């Protein structure tokens, strides 16, 4: 039972990272109807920037994370601005553009930081908590808490602010939104920047749990994408549930099937999607093509 609970806690912590990635995917999709295939690479850039300011510049972990969020939010704005002329004109080319940006970001990371990667030390030095014989790393609780806070803030932004309401209006009908004076380009830019910020948050938090390398964006991006689909693409609560589900499944698969853990995870994911193609919370689809 202790091993079961220990694996569960580790899976939830890893799942929180996937959930943050999935939230970024879902936010851009629900606003623009576009899947940002560069998102996983933005996660990787966020991890590198945060680890650089934390390990090399010797800043505390929180300021290093804030700098990573600002820089990646700027990257999100650049991606949106380059793709803006294609909006509502050539949807396929926009998708290809995001793939191209992802390739460029991975190449830049290799050029700047090298291909060997780096390990990031745990920023929380508090001893693990002992709960009913189960040792819980304090950092796992930090990751879960930060993810929960990010979700609450994002939902409040979308539901309680004018900018958030404008973004949702654009998602429903961009032509009608334009007719009532909403700046569609600005809403899309905000969506991309927030999505990139969530990616940096995921990458920075993943550093002490995983190994930071130029290829980490591929793994986190794919599993974050799977989490978004499992939860219902475009649903923020769905992204959280899907991320936690993929994380727990990944953790137990690694414990029981070792080298075949990814295969088992995606086989179960495929079966779940075959049963419910729209995902757990998937009801409404967005089509901006």
Rg (CA), the chain: 19
Q: What is the pLDDT of residue 283?
A: 57
Q: Quick check: 31 and 170 in contact, CB under 8 A?
A: yes
**pLDDT digit string, tens, across residues 154-183:** 999 988 888 888 887 777 766 777 777 777
Question: How do the residues of the chain divide into helix, strand and coil, expressed in percent and rounded to 5?
Answer: 75, 5, 20
Look at the chain and count its residues: 289
* Structural domain includes residue 181: yes
Q: Which domain holds residue 164?
A: 2-275
* Structural domain includes residue 112: yes
Q: Domain tally for the chain?
A: 1
CA atoms of 151 and 240, how far apart (whole Å): 8
Q: Tokens 């966020």 sit at which residue?
A: 46
* Structural domain includes residue 59: yes
* Structural domain includes residue 140: yes
Cβ within 8 Å of residue 60, ≥6 positions away:
54, 123
Gap between the terminal Cα atoms of the chain: 50
What is the 3 state secondary structure string of 71-126? HHHHHHHHHHHHHHHHCCCCHHHHHHHHHHHHHHHHHHHHHHHCCCCECCCCCCCC
Q: Quick check: 41 and 105 in contact, CB under 8 A?
A: yes
CA atoms of 115 and 103, how far apart (whole Å): 14
**pLDDT digit string, tens, across residues 222-247:** 999 999 999 988 888 899 999 999 99
Question: What one-character DSSP code corresponds to residue 127?
Answer: P
* Structural domain includes residue 282: no
Strand segments, DSSP code E, in the chain are 129-131, 134-136
Residue 233's CATH number: 1.10.3470
* Structural domain includes residue 284: no
* Structural domain includes residue 285: no
What's the whole-model pTM score? 0.90
* Structural domain includes residue 280: no
Cα–Cα nearest to 170, from 156, 159, 160, 184? 184
Per-residue pLDDT of the chain (289 residues; tens, 9 = 90+): 677 777 888 889 999 999 999 999 999 888 887 889 999 999 999 999 999 999 999 999 999 999 999 999 999 999 988 888 877 667 788 889 899 999 999 999 999 999 888 999 989 888 778 777 778 889 999 999 999 999 999 999 988 888 888 887 777 766 777 777 777 788 888 999 999 999 999 999 999 998 899 989 988 999 999 999 999 888 888 999 999 999 999 888 887 777 777 888 889 888 988 888 888 886 554 444 4
């Amino acid at each position: 039972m202790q091993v079961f609970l220990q694996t569960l806690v580790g899976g939830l912590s890893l799942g929180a990272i996937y959930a943050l990635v999935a939230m970024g995917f879902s936010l851009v999709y629900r606003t623009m109807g576009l899947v940002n295939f560069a998102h996983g690479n933005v996660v990787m850039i966020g991890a590198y920037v945060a680890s650089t300011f934390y390990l090399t510049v010797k800043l505390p972990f929180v300021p290093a994370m804030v700098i990573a969020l600002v820089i990646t939010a700027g990257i999100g704005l650049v991606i949106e601005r380059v793709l803006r002329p294609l909006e509502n004109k050539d949807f396929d080319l926009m998708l290809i553009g995001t793939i191209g940006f992802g390739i460029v970001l991975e190449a830049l990371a290799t050029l700047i930081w090298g291909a060997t990667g780096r390990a990031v030390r745990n920023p929380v030095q508090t001893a693990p908590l002992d709960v009913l014989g189960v040792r819980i790393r304090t950092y796992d609780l930090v990751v879960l808490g930060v993810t929960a806070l990010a979700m609450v803030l994002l939902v409040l932004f979308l539901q309680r602010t004018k900018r958030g309401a404008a973004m949702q209006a654009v998602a429903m009908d961009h032509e009608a939104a334009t007719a009532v004076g909403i700046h569609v380009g600005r809403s899309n830019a905000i969506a991309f920047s927030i999505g990139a910020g969530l990616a940096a948050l995921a990458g920075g938090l993943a550093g002490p749990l995983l190994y930071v390398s130029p290829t980490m964006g591929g793994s986190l991006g794919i599993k974050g994408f799977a989490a978004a689909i499992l939860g219902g693409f475009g649903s923020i609560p769905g992204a959280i549930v899907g991320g936690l589900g993929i994380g727990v499944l990944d953790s137990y698969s690694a414990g029981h099937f070792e080298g075949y853990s990814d295969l088992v995870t995606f086989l179960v994911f495929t079966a779940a999607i075959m049963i419910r193609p729209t995902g757990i919370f998937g009801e409404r689809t967005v089509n901006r093509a």
